[in-house]
Chain A
């Protein structure tokens, strides 16, 4: 295994014997664990902030989606009613128009016969 360290630190370690370096590693394992905990803490802090922001965003989107869904359901109901109303109204108007056309035709026919 190869470890690259800053030049200044390397110079300091160079002054130590192999036994002293192994001892340094052994004696500092606990400190290394604390450092790993601190690194994990920093990572978790960052993750927490990201999650809090994501949560806010989802809550906002969910609220907007719920509002949209509710309104869309009301609109659907309203458009159904209007569609039915217009269908009936158009049917009555078409009958009225046909009646008018029939009356007009009869009138024209009567006039032609008279002439």
Chain B
């Protein structure tokens, strides 16, 4: 594999031949970490090396555990949301029906000259679902 190294600004290039064995090692590393060969070569050629601060494997497991928890909660959340939507719709229909019944009740009591007792709790509930 022929490698060309160029500066960010300016002219000039360096050409290097990388043998098959070294190239295979670079590619293997790239596959293991999910990065391109170019990325690995850039790290080496720029000399921008870093060292991990902690235990990457442990961190990997913690992330996996969190992903699992999120998935479980999302699995629980979706059907509950659907059920809650259903009850809300049921309550909306009930609120419409109750609103009609309350109006009829007030009218009938007025015709019969009876005192109508307002049910504030019920009216608030109807308003909420409408």
Contacts and interface: CB of A to CB of B under 8 A. Distances in A.
Interface of A: 1-7, 9-11, 13-14, 18, 21-22, 24-26, 28-29, 31-41, 44-45, 47-48, 51-52, 54-55, 58-59, 61-62, 65-66, 68-69, 72-73, 75-76, 78-80, 82-83, 86-87, 89-90, 93-94, 96-97, 100
B59 A73 contact: no
A115 B56 CA distance: 108
Contacts of B26: 25, 29
A1 B112 contact: no
A82 B108 contact: no
Nearest to A59: B73
A111 B102 CA distance: 37
Residue of B26, B44, B91, B108 most packed against chain A (CB within 10 A) = B44
Grouping DSSP codes into helix (H, G, I), strand (E, B) and loop, the B interface class, with mixed when no group exceeds half, is helix
Interface of B: 1-10, 12, 14-19, 22, 25-26, 29, 33, 35, 37-38, 40-54, 56, 59-60, 62-63, 66-67, 69-70, 73-74, 76-77, 80-81, 83-84, 87-88, 90-91, 94-95, 97-98, 101-102, 104-105, 108-109, 111-112, 114, 119, 122, 125, 129
Contact of B48 (A35, A48, A73): A35
Interface on chain A toward B: helix, strand, loop, or mixed SS?
helix
A7 B57 CA distance: 36
Contacts of B56: 37, 40-41, 44
